[in-house]
Amino acid sequence: MPSEDQQYHPVAAAVLVCSLATTLLFWAGKKKHAKAAMKADPNEVVVELLGVEKVLAGGGGGDNATSTLTWFQGDYSQVVDSLRERTGKILELNPWLAGRIEKRKEKNGAYALVYSTAKQASDLLATHFCCHESNELLSRDIPFDQLGAKCSELDLYVKVGPTLPLWRVHVIPCHKDPHQKFAVVVSISHALSDGHTFYRLHNMLLNSKETIEALQVERILTTEQEQIKVMGGEPEQKILQSAGFIVNCVYGVLHSLCTKTKTVGKMHLIHPQGMEEAKKQAAKVNNDVEFVSSNDVITSWFLQNCRCKFGMMALNFRGGRIAGHTETHAGNYENVICYRPQDSATPALIRQSIQPPIFRRRVTNQEPLPGFWGQASGSFAIATNWASFAKPCFLGTDCHEEFHMPLYDLSKLIPSTMVILVIFRAGPRGLGILYGGSEAKVADLQKAVPFLHSEQLLS
């Protein structure tokens, strides 16, 4: 029987929403990216991006960054040199992290990843690694509803641009207790990386026991056709790039701005005993699956209680789901399964939807996805699981990981038509969830749930 860690793989699917919305404006001529003048470089490598990565690159801005924050107990000055050294080693073996995304004539004007093999990692550290030793930036007790915006204000998220870094590491001492607590913020462009790639790099950086290795940056350009085969058709595979979905995103952003709809987010720990009881109850209801995972239980609960017309769950295609997609392939090799409410009614139905050979909803699997107007006028819930990739952090015996979390400025991320869920490893504290959306939708999700701790994280 497969383990939970083998079942679900994360993608920063929620980040894709606003990037796609911005991209529609880009296509409409409302936004232009200036290409910086670059001299020819004989050591230059040009990597053709996947279709969804080109869309994300066109979106620009900082809303398509995948970022996390990890708090440590210990003196940052005792580990900052080793973190800088590990950052340099990662850049040395993965020079594409120091590249740029730009339009290329030889790629018919499409966005591509461009990097040089001649640059020395030591020369790149100032751009990709920063220790804020003298600045009073963050404190351990900053509330969650202020944290994302504060990090945005401090420019800790990477952005897409011809001269901007695509991957960056920040070491930030707690300004109230700088030699006892510190944070590490890691951010990467979603146009370059999905959650799987993010955590491969994150684990190399923040666990001194992990081997630093090179990832394969050349894209598998047949992946979209392969995904179409295992997802049951092109409309399923291209749902996030469909005109109806993008119009929905644009409408949600404009509606939020015009009505001043407030976006809120909450974080909770998962109660281990409550989760085990929820799994037992799910098993009693349905005997068609061997087991249900925490992800099955949480995703079913989320999609059933968020008051959205359609639900989506991110799925990674590495690890045997599509041949040739290995754990060392860097890039965006993920997509989402789309559900109607009846398709997510039980954890067992979520489990069945990811069983091969076809990864698709089970109850309404014979019904096509709604057309343009159905998508444009609906509401969407997007769930993604980051927990299975994150490994414990280890920086030495005198420094201990205290808490790990996804980092977003939710006020800029979520249109009024959306609600998101991120399942994540909260460090030694166990499994956590972050959910965000309109106040009404979040209020529904906050109602009594047996597997949630009542106390909010960073409340």
User: Tens of pLDDT along 63-73?
Assistant: 589 999 999 99
pLDDT value of position 34? 39
CATH topology of domain 22-31+43-206: Chloramphenicol Acetyltransferase (3.30.559)
Which of 88, 80, 87 minimizes the C-alpha distance to 122? 88
Residue 7 above 50 pLDDT?
A: no
332-357: pLDDT as tens digits: 999 999 999 999 999 999 999 999 99
Q: Which tokens sit at 202? A: 């994150």
Asked, colleague to colleague, whether 4-14+222-451 and 22-31+43-206 share their fold, the answer is: yes
Strands 452-456 and 263-270: antiparallel
Would you say residue 370 has pLDDT above 80? yes
Per the CB < 8 A criterion, the answer to whether 65 and 187 are in contact is yes
Sign of the CA dihedral 295, 298, 300, 302?
Answer: negative
Strands laid side by side in the 263-270 sheet:
334-339, 310-316, 380-385, 418-425, 431-438, 263-270, 452-456
Contacts 24+ apart (CB under 8 A), 301-305: 301/449, 301/451, 302/381, 302/383, 302/421, 302/435, 302/445, 303/339, 303/341, 303/344, 303/381, 303/383, 304/341, 304/344, 304/345, 305/444, 305/445, 305/447
Q: How does pLDDT run across 374-396, given as a tens digit for each residue?
A: 999 989 999 999 999 999 999 99
What pLDDT score does 230 carry? 96
The answer to whether 165 and 158 are in contact (CB under 8 A) is yes
- Number of Cβ within 10 Å of residue 360's Cβ equals 19
pLDDT tens profile 114-155: 999 998 888 999 999 999 987 678 899 888 888 888 898 888
**pLDDT over 60 (residue 423):** yes
Tokens representing residue 340 in the block: 């109607």
| pLDDT of residue 2 exceeding 50 | no
pLDDT given at position 186: 98
End-to-end CA distance of the chain: 38
Produce one character per residue of 140-170: b if its CB has 16 or more CB atoms within 10 Å, e if not.
bebebbebbeebbeeebbbbbbeeebbbbbb
Question: Is the pLDDT at 31 greater than 60, yes or no?
Answer: no
SS3 451: coil
| Res. 1: pLDDT tops 60 | no
pLDDT value, residue 40: 61
Closest CA to 382 of 449, 332, 336, 346: 336
Q: Where are the domains of the chain?
A: 4-14+222-451, 22-31+43-206
DSSP 8-class letter at 35: P
pLDDT given at position 29: 37
pLDDT digits (tens, 9 = 90+) for 81-101: 999 999 999 999 999 999 999
* Mean pLDDT for the stretch of residues 228-243: 93
DSSP, collapsed to helix, strand or coil, labels residue 435 as: strand
> Could you tell me the pLDDT band of residue 25, with boundaries at 50, 70 and 90?
very low
Q: How far apart are CA 97 and CA 91, in angstroms?
A: 6
Q: Residue 267 has what pLDDT?
A: 92
Ramachandran bin of 196, using left for φ above 0, alpha for ψ from -120 to 50, beta for the remaining angles: alpha
Architecture per CATH, 4-14+222-451: 2-Layer Sandwich (3.30)
What angle in degrees, to the nearest 10, is found between the helix axes of 80-93 and 121-128? 120
Peptide bond into 357 cis (omega under 30): yes
| Residue type for position 448 | A
The per-residue pLDDT for 167 is 97
**175-229 pLDDT, tens digit each:** 889 999 999 999 999 999 999 999 999 999 999 999 999 999 999 999 999 999 9
Share of the chain above pLDDT 70, in %: 88
pLDDT at 201: 98
Q: How far apart are CA 164 and CA 33, in angstroms?
A: 13
Give the model's confidence band at 260: pLDDT under 50 very low, under 70 low, under 90 confident, else very high.
confident
Q: Rounded distance, CA 13 to CA 383, Å?
A: 8
